[in-house]
Every structure is written in structure tokens, then in C-alpha cells.
Chain A
């Protein structure tokens, strides 16, 4: 019997341990962002927060196929990617609250969340800017003869900016070890991407540049896991850049402050039924995993992130001298050269 490799379920040969880890990680991302939203409501986070609730499958499906020394460059909606790449949530939450002990000492916040120690080269406040940075990281990897992979995750809004064309072209011309993942949630900020995009969309554009490109349901973490595994294996074997368009849906507004008035409530409600966590839980239940085991993932994640939240709330502000640090060596403002 041959199973359709893109159809999850009992007919497939599932790696239950791996999928349980995915389920657990997706809950940790969800709980982290719920805590971040709470911090926003309580005015502990004053800047913008871009939640990825509903898109956890992509963070997990992509990053679980990357090694710690592989590189990831992310978007302004990057909490999930950063956690999935292995960053410490305590340091991340401190960063969101602008506190000492944050991943960037409170100088980047949510939009620039980064942890270079796990290869996460930063979320970026400029749409599509991470595509060039990924191509550059991949170029450096190739120059140094390493077997690492550089990956960027960007939204569908990014495909209408120049760096999409320029970065993919660059990666293909130099046959770089780069994986480009479009987190296609259908909206570019508050505008329906389809209304602003000519032609058939992300994968077709990547294919036109010569990148092997596949379309995957990004809410089906089983399917995405497989697609990314294949792509990363091909890239690591020297096969050049690959492109994955992962369809998903953002279950909240563009930012924590966005009332999301531009989408029909029925559409959002229907999307909740396709939530990647619920979907994976169903797959696992169908495969015989006990409900209390799945419930424990949720409970543990909420407990963990509640503690992370309390820690960040209690953490001190960075010393004011940090405002002047890390600007530049030559002409450092602390040397009076300003």
C-alpha cells in the first residue's frame, strides 16, 4: 500500500516521538505569545507586538529541521521562529518588556528579537530585508566551505518587494545553501495580499528564478516537516537554494493593537478550526496518543510561560549606559566623539 506522503493520518508511518515534540513546542510558542499579549494589555509592552498565533506549525516545521549552527533570519513576526530555533524564552520575554537580561539588553524588543547563540540572526522590522541577509549568510557559508544552511522566513507581503527578486536571484546565481520559506497568511499587514499581487504568487515567482519550489499547507506540521526535511537535505547535499510556500492564517490582528476589522468574523472563526495545534493533536489522537498527554503539553507550556512572564515583570530596567553601548567602535559616543 502506498500512502500519499502529503496526507497525515493513521495510514502514514508517523514518528510519534517527533510529532509529540512538535506538539509540545507549538504549545510553548502559543503560550509565550499569549503571555506577550497579556503584557501588551497590561502596558508592560509599549511597542508593537506581532503575534504569530495560528502560524506555529511553520516555526516548528521549519526550525525542527535546522541545526543550531544553521542560520535563520526572520520577520517582525518572529517570536515563534526564535523559540523554535532554540532561544531561551526567559531572555526573550525580558527583551519584549525591555528589561536587563533580554536577548538584546532591551535594545531591540519584539520586532528585533534575536539570539545569535542559536543561529537566529534577528527578526527584522523591514519587510523582505531578511532575504538579502540570508543570501549573505549562505554566501559566507559557501565561501567558508561549511555544510550549514541559511534560512529565511518571510511573509507573503515580502514577495512584492525588490529583495525577493534580488535575493532569490543572488542565491540561485551563486547556488547558495539557502532555504526560503514564505509564511503565506494571505495578508500583507492589513491588506489582502492577493489584491496587491500580480500573477500566481510566491512559488511561481521562485520557480521563474529557477528555485525548486513547493506549496505546502503550513498548518499541517506533518506535511511541512517532510517538505522542509527534503529541502534541507537537498541544500546540504549541494543542490542550491530551495523555496517553500507554506499556506497559513494569522488568527489575530496584524499587531496586538490591530482590531482586525478587515476580515470577516466567519473567516476567522473557520480558520480557528484549522488551527495547526488542534490539527496535530487530532492526528496524534488518531494514532493512539492519550488525551491527558496532549493536555499536559498545553498545561506545562502555560505554566512555563507564566513563570517567564513573572520573571520579566520583576526584572530591572537596563542601566542607562546601555543606550550608548554597541553603536560603533570608531567614533563611539562614549568617547565624546559626538
Chain B
């Protein structure tokens, strides 16, 4: 059992996968200095510029080159710096990476991991703060992963690198320094959620940084006498439907909480599916908590107004439970 940060966990995972498989390499801007958030620190010295490869500020080329290199027998790990910048490479990700296997009839797969640091990061404003995970869940061909803890960032990144599909891997910028225990060396399965609390009165589903707000809300609710189940979805596509259904069938209540915009968000997909499948088990309407449909502001108080907080989650839960 080792304690490490979310950033170190990812670095260790990449390091071990690069040791294990000589076809794994990373490319992106500022990798030579260890990445914008230090998540590659030390790796350039070990693997040299060919395998931890600095790139021009040229996101479309980084992504497109990764696709060509994946089709030609390597496993690139693509660093996009900020999820927002991946929008410069949407053709390469959506039209090329996600489509190549299908439209060429399975002649090749595209084993790339696209790391897109996501979410609000103090006073970074509208172009460095987005949570666009729902977009990618809409695209057939992509796997979408949003880890919330060091142990998950370690195990899920390993699986993402070993996966033959293009994986959009979204680490949260506010979590890089988060410390936690990493208790084994194995990859964690993609598509499986994690139960962070077991309970019988209400199910709270979340992912990425909002998991921590959700856990804080659960503690408050627990102190007030409610039995709360908390699920960290971890992988958004495919999402662990059956285990969410089982939980809702037990509790009869569901709140999905996420940092991204609520309208058209992935919370809507979960709410609709659960309402459909678990209708007879529900004791209250399914609730979604996400950001209002506004860009993220610069000034801290303005930025904070769009955050989904533990207090909001707890308040919504109280209403559902008539506490």
C-alpha cells in the first residue's frame, strides 16, 4: 500500500505500461518538462524524446499523428493539455479515431488514449474550464473515463493504455495534488463503477471531482440519520448500468451530480434510463444536479455560482427524502 497523488498515480501507471510494452509512447505539448501539471515528470529522462515526445502546439496534428501511428502498430498516449484544446482536434478524434475501425470493416483498431484534463480550475475562465465528457459519450467508437482518485487514476489509465479502442481519458485539474492510497498493481476494469458508500435510502451517482462533493454530502446526510449509497461511475461509456439499477431498486431514489452543464449532460442519460428501467421501484423523481448552461467565469465568486456543491446535493437529497 503506497500513498501517492492523483498525478503521480497516473505517471506510475504510464511508466509501468511503457516498461511492459515497447510500443507505448506519449506525445503532446510540454512533455519534455514533465507535462503542464507534472504528470509526466521524470519520464522524459527515463524514456527519452522518442517515447515521451514533445509536440508543436498543433492539437490536430498530435491527435491525427496518434491515429496514424496507432493504425501502424503503436499505442500512443495523447496529451491534450486541457480538454478545451482537444476541440482543435475534433475531426481527428471523432471522424478518424472513432470511425476508422468501423468504416474500414475491422481491418485495424485505433488503440489511443487521449488525456484531456477537464473541469474548473480556479480562475481559468471559459476556455480552460470545461467538462465536455457528455459529448464523447455520444460518439460511437469511443470509451470515456473520468477517474476521481489516485487509485482509480492508476488502475484505469493502465487499462486505457491496454485497451484497443480509442479512450478519452479525462483527469480533473483540481485533483492532481489529491493524495490517496494505491493498493495494488493491477489494471482496473473499464466500465465498472465503484461503490464508495453502501446505504438504503438514496443513491447518489457522480464522477470526477464532483465525487468528493457527493461524499461530503453523504456524510452530512448520514449524520442526519439517512443511509446513503454513493456510486463513483468512473467510466461514462460504457456505464455500469446494472449496478446503478440494482442500487436504485434498493433505495428507490436517485440523484446524479456532475460538474458539467446539466442540459444535454450525461446525468440526463442516466436519469432517463433509470426512469425507464426502474420506474416501479422509484419513490421519488430522479434528480440531476449540473451546472447552468453558461460558460465558466473568471472571478472566483462568479465561478463558484455554477459549482455543484456538497450543500446542494445534500439539500436536494433532503427534499427527496422529505427530511
Report A's interface with B, CB cutoff 8 A.
Answer: 71, 73, 102-108, 112, 114-117, 121-122, 124-126, 129, 131-141, 143-144, 150, 162-163, 166-167, 169-170, 173, 325-331, 333, 337
Contacts and interface: CB of A to CB of B under 8 A. Distances in A.
B104 A139 contact: no
Given A129-B96, A327-B141, A116 B104 contact: yes
A206 B109 CA distance: 31
Interface residues of B, number: 48
Contacts of A112: 103-104
Given A107-B105, A129-B91, A173-B56, A330 B68 contact: no
Interface in B28-69: 50-51, 55-56, 58, 60-61, 63-69
Nearest to A124: B96
A131 B67 CA distance: 11
B152 interface: no
Contacts, number: 158
A330 B163 contact: yes
Contacts of B67: 132-133, 136
Contacts of A105: 105-106
Contacts of B64: 129, 131-133, 135-136, 163, 166-167
Contacts of B63: 132
Contacts of B101: 326-328
Contacts of A116: 71, 104, 107-108
Contacts of B95: 125-126, 129
Contacts of B61: 132, 135, 163, 166-167, 169-170
A162 B72 contact: no
Contacts of B141: 327-328
A133 B140 CA distance: 20
Interface string B140-172: 111100000000000000000001110100000
A116 B69 CA distance: 14
12 contacts: A102-B105, A103-B107, A133-B68, A136-B67, A136-B69, A136-B70, A143-B25, A166-B56, A166-B60, A170-B58, A327-B102, A330-B191
A134 B241 CA distance: 39
B74 interface: yes
Contact of A108 (B69, B92, B104, B241): B104
Contacts of A103: 104-105, 107
A138 B91 CA distance: 20
Interface in B156-204: 163-165, 167, 190-191
Interface in B117-147: 140-143
Contacts of A108: 103-105
